[in-house]
Each structure stands twice: as structure tokens, then as C-alpha cells.
Amino acid sequence: MKIQVINPNTSQDMTHSIDASAKNIASVLTEIVTVCPKKGVESIEGHYDEAISAIGVLDLVQQGRSDAVDAHIIACFGDPALHAAREVADAPVIGIAEAAFHVASLIATKFTIVTTLSRTKIIAEHLLHEYGFAHKCAKIRCIDLPVLALEQDANATYERLKESCLQAKTQDGIGAIVLGCGGMSKMVNQLSEEIGIPIIDGVGAAIKLAEALIGLGVKTSKWGDYAYPTIK
Ligand code: 2AL
């Protein structure tokens, strides 16, 4: 099976780190193809950035469909253009926030999200409501570092992330933590070991859910609102 992983921002460093995480967790029979748009924004940290990234995501989904991939993953925590991507695709399309919420809910009654800048908090809040997980999320914590700090200053960022995860563990009354950025994926193993409660990285969750959907033989429904866009 072939899974296309789309990093919606144009950062090559983040695309490489997401690619490494995806390949690390994928089954040996899964081929991972990680791509990012040529044009767009280098990091996605707000509504404007999400809107700019949407066309790049949709073009890449079209390309993945031409290449007959078995699933597409949108590897940005705002799940930009997810519903539109499902109209364009026939294979399953999974967003990393959506995947992480589902997986966290299966292993804990409550979770905390630890994300990047405070301004992205509202995006996670909207997704929790849209997907029906608002009652499962105890708190959204922000490390208040920009997305690209995850690539440029990984050690300092890791320490901030760890501190926030430890506070979540001891103060939030939760059983699991969801990492709120695709660029945090590479830190999940060390964090899980050091924090000692389940830490869910959306990239890994999405890969495993994609493999499960492919195994089940189910694709994006073309009956109803996810039907192909009407030709104008
Ligand atoms: C993200 C993400 O996952 N990738 C990106 O560019 N921005 N979201 C976030 N909340 O930091």
C-alpha cells in the first residue's frame, strides 16, 4: 500500500522530519511518499496561513490520486482543506488533528493538547467542536514558540514542550497528551519515555488509521457531500 503524506507548509526541513516519522511508524509493507507544496507559506500559524495552504494541499491530493495512492494524510494540525480534499480524492484522507483526537479518545477519557503559538489555539478549539471531541479535551496548552523553532532550535523547543507536557500530566486531570503540530512528531518517542503517559503524535496516528482503513477496504464516500466537485 502507498500512503501520500502532505506537509501543507513549504518547509523542506519539516517535510523531511515528518517523512522520517511516517516511515519509522509505517508497516514494512507500506510505502510512504511525503510531499509539500512548491508555493505557499513556510509555516501555518493562523487562519490566513491555512487559507493560503489550501490550494497547495488540493493540488497535491489530485497528484496523489493520479499516482494511485491508497490514502492521503494532511500533516498539519489545523487539518487545512480536509473536507475539500475528500471531495477531490477517492482514497481515504485523514487529518493529523482528527487522527490524534480519535486515538487519544480510545485510550483516555480526557486529553490535553500541547501546541505551538497561542494564536493557533482557536483553530484546535474549532476542530474539537467540529469533530465532536470538545468534551474529551481538558485543556489546550501553548509553548508559545513558532512552528519553525521546532526545526531551527529543536533542543530548546523540546525542553519547552517537555515542561508543558509535565504540567499537563500533573495539573489537567488527563490520561493522555496530543501533540499539536506536525513538526513535533520527531519528539514523540523521547517525550513518551520521559513523561510516562501516552503521548499521541497525529502523524503516527494518521498513518496507523490509514493502514487500518486500507486494510478494511473502505474509501472516501462519493455518496453525498464528498462526491467529486461539480464541473463548472
Ligand atoms: C502547524 C503544523 O502542524 N504545521 C504547521 O505549519 N503549523 N500547526 C500548529 N498548530 O503549529
Rounded (5°) CA angle 211-212-214: 65
CB–CB of 219/179 below 8 Å?
A: no
Return the H-helix or E-strand segment holding 200: strand 199-201
Atom of ligand 1 nearest to the CA of 9: 6
Which atom of ligand 1 has the smallest separation from the CA of 147?
A: 11
Distance (angstroms) between ligand 1 centre and the Cα of 50 equals 9
Ligand 1 center to 230 CA (angstroms)? 31
Per-residue pLDDT of the chain (232 residues; tens, 9 = 90+): 999 999 999 999 999 999 999 999 999 999 999 999 999 999 999 999 999 999 999 999 999 999 999 999 999 999 999 999 999 999 999 999 999 999 999 999 999 999 999 999 999 999 999 999 999 999 999 999 999 999 898 899 999 999 999 999 999 999 999 999 999 999 999 999 999 999 999 999 999 999 999 999 999 999 999 999 999 9
Distance of alpha carbon 112 from alpha carbon 176, whole angstroms: 7
Amino acid at 208: K
Give the distance (Å) from ligand 1 centre to CA of residue 108: 24
